[in-house]
């Protein structure tokens, strides 16, 4: 199977609070309280309570880091685009645009693989893309560009949390395509 081939049928179906394994149910209820709905990705993770809990725990740790909410979304979006994950690309495009308040050109550039005008944002996105594409074998000049843009060396490690988070969800979507939620439909990958 080529790296661009995609499984056409879902191995796992999104669960509801009622249909999920018992240990997933309270977690899904908390997700619903947080988002106002249960995103299909979380509902799919609910097939395995350990994976759902682990994914949300890693997300919680990533949120407590030093990157701003916008920077975190751009890391998650860049990893999702590089991993060719339609579900996560649409979801993080939607969220990033909400955080960016009228700067959709950043999301468009990121999704199209073109440079971003802001030097610091471009360095963040480029490092994320290269970490994913090269499986961590990043060029020294990419790290130097990240650092010279104003980031700290410890943030290179922190960026890996976001890549790990998206690797889990992106790969699940590759193995078992996740139906896109209505909330993310406007950013559907075409």
pTM: 0.92
Select from 45, 166, 177, 159 the least CA-distant residue to 95.
Answer: 166
Instruction: Map out the domains of the chain as residue ranges.
Output: 22-63, 69-187
CA–CA separation, 164 and 157 (whole Å)? 11
Query: If one looks up domain 69-187 in CATH, what number appears?
Result: 1.20.1290.10
Both structure tokens of 99: 């955080």
Instruction: Render pLDDT for 78-113 as a digit per residue (tens, 0 to 9).
Output: 999 999 999 999 999 999 988 877 578 899 999 999
């Amino acid at each position: 199977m080529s790296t661009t081939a995609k499984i056409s049928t879902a191995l796992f179906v999104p669960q509801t609070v009622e249909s999920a394994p018992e240990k997933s149910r309270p977690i899904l209820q908390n997700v619903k309280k947080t988002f106002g709905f249960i995103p299909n990705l979380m509902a799919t993770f609910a097939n395995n309570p350990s994976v759902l809990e682990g994914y949300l725990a890693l997300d919680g740790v990533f949120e407590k880091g030093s990157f701003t909410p916008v920077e975190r979304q751009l890391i998650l979006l860049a990893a999702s685009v590089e991993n060719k994950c339609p579900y996560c690309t649409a979801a993080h495009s939607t969220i990033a645009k909400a955080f960016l308040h009228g700067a959709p050109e950043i999301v468009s550039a990121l999704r199209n693989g073109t440079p971003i005008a802001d030097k610091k944002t471009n360095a963040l996105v480029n490092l994320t893309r290269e970490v994913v594409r090269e499986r961590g074998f990043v060029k020294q000049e990419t790290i130097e560009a990240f650092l010279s843009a104003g980031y700290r060396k410890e943030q290179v490690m922190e960026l890996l949390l976001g890549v790990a988070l998206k690797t889990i969800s992106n790969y699940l979507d590759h193995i078992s395509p996740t139906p896109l939620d209505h909330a993310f439909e406007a950013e559907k990958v075409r």
